[in-house]
Structure 1
Amino acid sequence: MIKEKIGVVGAGKIGSAILRGVIRSGLVQKHQAMASDVSQTLRQAVAKQLGIKVTPNNAEVCAFADIVILAVKPQILDPVVKEIAKGIGKTKLLVSVAAGVPLARIESLLAKGARVVRVMPNIPCVVGAGASCYAGGSSASAKDLEKVGAILDSFGIGLPVEEKYLDAVTGLSGSGPAYVFLFIESLADGGVQMGLSRDVALKLALQTVYGSARLALESGKHLAELREEVTSPGGTTIAGLYALEKGKMRGTVMEAVLRATRRSQALGKGES
């Protein structure tokens, strides 16, 4: 548990997931959390689900919180940061989860010496299974980074990296859930093609991916070793793997990460 109060500016999927994580994990109590959003619907939903204070006023959140989490879209980040800059000052810790927006850009909109940490979360954080990375700005302390790590660990895992790698994180874990969803769909489609009902095929595909990820996490074995354990000489699995290799699955997935990373870099430079 931490003693600081946490405020979230932007109570959408990611913002509300962060609040849900820190409260349900016991990292903070309900009275230590507050959220702001322009949408009355989102405010009411968060207040009902989590039992915390909500407001349409971003400045009110800044006045309340010690740690302010900025969970707004990159396109509106600049005006929002300018609006709350005075409230942040040098005493509050600002945590940005806006994809592709570099620390230098955020710091340029704040007082000199403002403490900023940039985070790249992903959408599974809404079910407490997020994969996030974070990097500190020029004035962020080791204690600041430790607190951000604890927040991220409350709804998944949080790993510290240098900021220059956050675009790659975006391409891998940020966009990665969409790649996995597509793979699950394709796996289920293959089952349907072979005569399984859609319901059975989808349940099998989902559980297969879930079980495989859990086995990889818990066994500590190399992925190649796990793959070999399923692959018998002349068997069904090697026939399927041959088709995937022939279709250049590995290279295609790597290319997807590369393209998404480059797109994140472009967005960070303000390109449309």
Structure 2
Amino acid sequence: MKLGFIGCGNMAQAMITGILTQKVVSPQELIVSNPREEKTAKLKDEFGIITTTDNKEVAKQSDILVLSVKPQVYPAVIKEIRDEVSSEQIIVTIAAGVSMEAAERQFGKEVKIVRVMPNTPALVGEGMSGLCCNEYVTEEEFDLVHKIFESFGKAEKITENLMDAVVGVSGSGPAYVYMFIEAMADAAVAQGLPRKQAYTFAAQTLLGSAKMVLETGQHPGELKDAVCSPAGTTIEAVNVLEKKGMRSAVIEAVTAAAKKNHQLGKKKEK
């Protein structure tokens, strides 16, 4: 199986690193194109992958082709490669706001499309991806793409109408988490903890708490209650968070990101 990437930005680099680290494909089975060779140089030196500046060459060689360029560049890239793409190839799109219908319309023919929203923790093998596909993709092919995205984290199959929600909660989500870690660490530093240790305490606490939710299967509220002793320190802190509107702020943030993704999609379809 030949896996190709057109574009080598942060998300592509995170995915490629995860895929090669987990040995989903060999370096010789992975080809990446980018107009600037320096963008692919590090990956080429580190993993020995095939690189080129020719998008058409990647399109010709790939069984699965990932379009990892900015949404506004999709029309130009698809126009460039569409004559090289066959009905047997699987096209993976990871751009926010680009529906499967819009991508297929740009190709101007029936093509197999899997739409995915991954996130950057893929770089450390802890990504979260939502996937959907069009009617031309077989169940076996969808399972294959799903397996690739599970190689660097968790991946869930969804219907396309839920993609805006996925963008809001996980696609954009790492930024919210980093802000929370930074805020927790700042408070710890204010209480005298050295900065480096403060980040470790805050980040590990979030990592461990997330793992508790995933591995125990318990409701987050139940896990929270288990930490809140009567008249203790934690319930005092929770009370402050409730007064300051933490829940509503997070809900509004996720909703805003989802709405923005929906607006981007509508704008691109015009």
TM-score by length of 2: 0.95
CA displacement at 1:159 relative to structure 2 = 0.7
Q: Which amino acid aligns with 1:126?
A: L
Q: For 1:137, which of 134, 145, 149 is the aligned residue?
A: 134
CA displacement at 1:111 relative to structure 2 = 4.2
Say whether residues 1:124 and 2:121 are aligned partners: yes
Q: For 1:154, which of 151, 156, 161 is the aligned residue?
A: 151
Runs of 4+ in 1 over 3 A off after TM superposition: none
- 1:202/1:19 CA distance change after superposition, 3 Å: closer
Q: Which amino acid aligns with 1:37?
A: N
Q: Deviation digits for residues 179-230 of structure 1, max 9, x if unmatched?
A: 1011111111111222322222222111111121122222222212211111
Aligned to 1:145, the other structure's residue is in SS state helix
Q: Which amino acid aligns with 2:257?
A: A
Q: Deviation digits for residues 164-190 of structure 1, max 9, x if unmatched?
A: 111110011011101101111111111
Say whether residues 1:267 and 2:259 are aligned partners: no
Q: Contact (CA 8 Å) 1:103, 1:137: kept in 2 or not?
A: yes
CA displacement at 1:140 relative to structure 2 = 1.8
Aligned to 2:130, the other structure's residue is in SS state strand
Q: For 1:248, which of 245, 249, 258 is the aligned residue?
A: 245
Tell me, in whole angstroms, the C-alpha distance in 1 between the residues paired with 2:68 and 2:207.
28
Any stretches of 5+ residues in structure 1 without a counterpart?
none
Say whether residues 1:27 and 2:24 are aligned partners: yes
Q: Contact (CA 8 Å) 2:4, 2:66: kept in 1 or not?
A: yes
Aligned to 2:8, the other structure's residue is in SS state coil
Q: For 1:224, which of 221, 224, 241 is the aligned residue?
A: 221
**Count of residue correspondences:** 268
Q: Deviation digits for residues 86-140 of structure 1, max 9, x if unmatched?
A: 1112121100111111111100011422111110001111111100001102322
- 1:220/1:118 CA distance change after superposition, 3 Å: same
1:86 match: 83
Q: Deviation digits for residues 3-28 of structure 1, max 9, x if unmatched?
A: x2101111122212222222221221
Q: Deviation digits for residues 49-89 of structure 1, max 9, x if unmatched?
A: 21111000011111111110110011111110111111112
1:201 match: 198
Any stretches of 5+ residues in structure 2 without a counterpart?
none
1:186 match: 183
Tell me, in whole angstroms, the C-alpha distance in 1 between the residues paired with 2:83 and 2:19.
26
Tell me, in whole angstroms, the C-alpha distance in 1 between the residues paired with 2:200 and 2:40.
34
Tell me, in whole angstroms, the C-alpha distance in 1 between the residues paired with 2:200 and 2:49.
36
- 1:105/1:44 CA distance change after superposition, 3 Å: same
Q: Contact (CA 8 Å) 1:89, 1:111: kept in 2 or not?
A: no
